[in-house]
């Protein structure tokens, strides 16, 4: 009799948690990003000091592409497998936001570990490159560049790299998530 009483047997969104799917895809994307980052760094494909803009573009494309794929797959699985093919814009955004949050947190921890323990000398190289760029491109004297570096040096720490990485991932992720959620929503 319950079949006749209820024409729509679809699960209600409030009955299905988006956390397992979204966090799983966020974690998988983070692991892929860490592996790709290490491969690109160890193979010399990416110049972490910022001199080679081509390698920065390559790194950004790989990072953004991985995040987009993770968001699409998380929202698609939640919509098609867990909500019987329907998802509102808000719910799609929520799934993507959880995935972005997980990606951002894992990437922040990785950035801290990388700059604090794996490659601690890289920060001093980056500081030196920045100082040279100030003197060459902006025409600063050595003492002016040194003073400027003194004021900026607090940002060149593993902790601040982790914070900036998290915020950057969150901001980019929310923008991309809004677009993907708008495309992938499917209302009744």
Taking only the tens place, the pLDDT of each residue in 100-121 is 999 999 999 999 999 999 998 9
| Whole-structure pTM value | 0.88
Taking only the tens place, the pLDDT of each residue in 81-96 is 999 999 999 999 999 9
Q: Any bridge partners for residue 87, and if so which?
A: 186
Higher pLDDT: 132 or 74? It is: 74
Higher pLDDT: 50 or 16? It is: 16
For the four alpha carbons of 155, 159, 162 and 163, in that order, the dihedral sign comes to: negative
Q: Is residue 27 part of a domain?
A: yes
* Number of C-beta neighbours around residue 108 at 10 A: 21
Higher pLDDT: 179 or 130? It is: 179
Q: Is residue 148 part of a domain?
A: no
pLDDT at position 24 is 98
- Quick one: what percent of the chain has pLDDT higher than 70? 92
pLDDT at position 8 is 64
Question: What is the Cα 147 distance to its own chain's centre?
Answer: 33
Taking only the tens place, the pLDDT of each residue in 58-84 is 888 999 999 999 999 999 999 999 999
Higher pLDDT: 13 or 162? It is: 162
Domain range for 102 is 18-118+161-184
Examine the pLDDT at 4 and tell me if it is beyond 60.
Answer: no
Higher pLDDT: 123 or 91? It is: 91
Tally of structural domains, the chain? 1
Examine the pLDDT at 132 and tell me if it is beyond 70.
Answer: yes
Higher pLDDT: 127 or 73? It is: 73
Examine the pLDDT at 50 and tell me if it is beyond 70.
Answer: no
Q: Is residue 129 part of a domain?
A: no
Distance CA 166, CA 162 (A): 6
* Number of C-beta neighbours around residue 97 at 10 A: 20
Overall residue count recorded for the chain in this entry: 188
pLDDT at position 1 is 44
Q: Compute the mean pLDDT over every residue in the chain, rounded to the nearest whole number.
A: 89
Distance CA 89, CA 185 (A): 5
Q: Is residue 136 part of a domain?
A: no
């Amino acid at each position: 009799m319950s079949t006749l009483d209820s024409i729509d047997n679809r699960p209600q969104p409030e009955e299905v948690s988006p956390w397992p799917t979204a966090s799983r895809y966020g974690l998988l994307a983070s692991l892929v990003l860490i592996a790709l980052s290490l491969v690109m760094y160890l193979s010399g494909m990416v110049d972490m000091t910022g001199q080679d803009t081509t390698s920065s573009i390559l790194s950004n494309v790989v990072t953004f592409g991985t995040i987009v794929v993770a968001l699409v797959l998380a929202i698609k699985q939640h919509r098609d497998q867990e909500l019987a093919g329907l998802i509102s814009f808000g719910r799609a955004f929520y799934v993507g936001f959880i995935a972005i949050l997980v990606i951002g947190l894992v990437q922040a921890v990785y950035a801290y570990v990388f700059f604090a323990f794996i490659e601690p000398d890289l920060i001093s190289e980056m500081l030196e490159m920045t100082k040279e760029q100030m003197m060459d491109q902006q025409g600063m004297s050595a003492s002016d560049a040194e003073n400027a570096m003194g004021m900026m040096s607090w940002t060149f720490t593993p902790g601040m790299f982790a914070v900036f990485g998290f915020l950057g991932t969150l901001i980019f992720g929310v923008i991309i998530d809004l677009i993907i959620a708008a495309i992938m929503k499917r209302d009744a």
